[in-house]
Amino acid sequence: MRTWMLVAAAGIAAAAAAASPPARRYCLTWGASEQEAAEPLPGDDLLAGAAVQSTRAIAIGAEPWAVWPWLVQMGSGRGGAYTYDWIENLLGLDMHSADKILPEFQKLAVGDVLPLGPEDPRMRVEICDENRSLVFRSTDGAWVWSFVLRPKDGGTRLISRNRISPPDGRFYYDLVMAQGSLIMERKMLKGIRRRAEKLQAAGRSALPRPVVSS
């Protein structure tokens, strides 16, 4: 009984630490400057009353044209998410992160609906401004995911913002989801950086032409 109580106490202490303001701020703003975390971004108005907002960012040594194709082809059954595929596939999400540009998934437009996995909700493209911003909103209206590309010092600042109204409330998100989302998204951003920098080194001639359906 005493051992069980110690384990429970340790778990409560760890959960409290994870939900503390400094830990929460780190989880929700990894890589982002204070300005990036605070400023309005494209897509914010699509979920004005979001209970949770995360803004994470990374500096990429490649121009936006070399970053954009990796974002456009993301998704289940498409180019994957450049993160821990094995974790996502435990959930049946059919994610297989591509290491090359897939021409068949390079034609994306506002109104396109992409699957997250075998079940709903799905993600609808709300903004598709080439080399600038790509914004998705879930079909249940509870999640908006925005990617913003900003040229800087010959490279790109890639900003990823999630605005969410979790059904279980903000406390559960802070306690459980924030840490997991940071682990997955940090891996994703680093994966995009590696791929984009490799593409930049290869040059624009390495970009395949999108497949045009007849």
- Edge-to-edge strand ranges of the sheet holding 143-152: 52-60, 155-164, 143-152, 133-138, 122-129, 113-115
Instruction: Identify the pLDDT of residue 88.
Output: 76
pLDDT at position 16: 42
The one-digit pLDDT tens for each residue of the chain (214 residues) are 444 443 333 333 334 444 556 677 888 999 999 999 999 999 999 999 898 899 999 999 999 999 999 999 999 889 999 998 888 777 677 788 999 999 999 999 999 999 877 777 899 999 999 999 999 999 999 999 999 999 999 999 999 999 998 766 554 455 455 677 889 999 999 999 999 999 999 988 888 876 655 4
| Contact of 112 with 126, CB cutoff 8 Å | no
- pLDDT at residue 190, rounded to an integer: 98
pLDDT at position 207, please?
87
pLDDT at 177: 59
pTM of the full predicted structure? Answer: 0.84
Nearest alpha carbon to residue 139 among 114, 127, 122: 122
Rounded distance between C-alpha atoms, residue 142 and residue 144, angstroms: 7
pLDDT of res. 12: 36
Strand extents, DSSP E, 61-210: 113-115, 122-129, 133-138, 143-152, 155-164
- pLDDT, position 17: 43
Residue type for position 2: R
CA distance 56 to 137: 18
Q: What does the alpha-carbon distance between residue 121 and residue 176 come to, in Å, rounded to a whole number?
A: 21
Q: What is the DSSP string of 143-161?
A: EEEEEEEEEETTEEEEEEE
- Alpha carbon distances (Å) from 12 to 5, 7, 20, 171: 10, 9, 12, 14
What is the phi-psi region of residue 17: left when phi exceeds 0, alpha when psi lies from -120 to 50, beta otherwise?
alpha
Q: What domains does the chain contain, in order, with CATH numbers?
A: 21-206 (3.30.530.20)
Residue among 61, 18, 58, 19 nearest 36 (CA): 58
